Amino acid sequence: MRPITRIYVHCSATKPGMYIGAEEIRRWHMEGNGWSRIGYHRIIRRSGEIEFGLPLNKKGIHVRGDNANTLAICMVGGIDEHGKPDNNFTEEQWESLAITKQYFDRMFPEAEWLGHRDHPKANKACPSFDVAEWAASQAFSTGGGF
């Protein structure tokens, strides 16, 4: 496994009524962007279902200049009906993101959680919320089953 130092959360920049997932995003990345594969490792649908994109041992295509030692999670949604950034994620998505965080924190305890917008070369609002603040609010528990 490659070393993971940062975990980036992205949004699909889709409106609340768009119920897309990994297949649509894969098509956008490959046909629309000309990439060889989907850029994200996990996709969280509006229903909260967690879909797999890239295997964790594969380098993503998600933050220009910072893909080698990072993972990417994409939350479906993130813009309003007018195309403006909007933290419009469902309760189910927040629950799935928290579960994903617990899982990745156990695998990569030193990894920093960031939003795409936090990268110095990113000029966007993605994922439409403060990931570092959200991550800090999540209590990490080493007890219990997972």
Residue pLDDT tens, the chain, 146 long: 889 999 999 999 999 999 999 999 999 988 988 888 899 999 999 999 999 999 999 998 888 888 899 999 999 999 999 999 999 999 999 999 999 999 999 999 999 999 999 998 888 999 999 999 999 999 654 444 44
15 as an active site residue: the answer is no
Q: What domains, with CATH codes, occur in the chain?
A: 6-137 (3.40.80.10)
Which residue is catalytic, options 8, 10, 62, 74?
10
In angstroms, the first-to-last Cα distance of the chain is 21
40 as an active site residue: the answer is yes
Instruction: Indicate whether this model's pTM tops 0.85.
Output: yes
CB 143 within 8 A of CB 37: no
Alpha helices in 14-120 (DSSP H): 22-27, 91-107
Which residue matches tokens 């909260």?
48
Which residue is catalytic, options 41, 62, 116, 119?
116
10 as an active site residue: the answer is yes
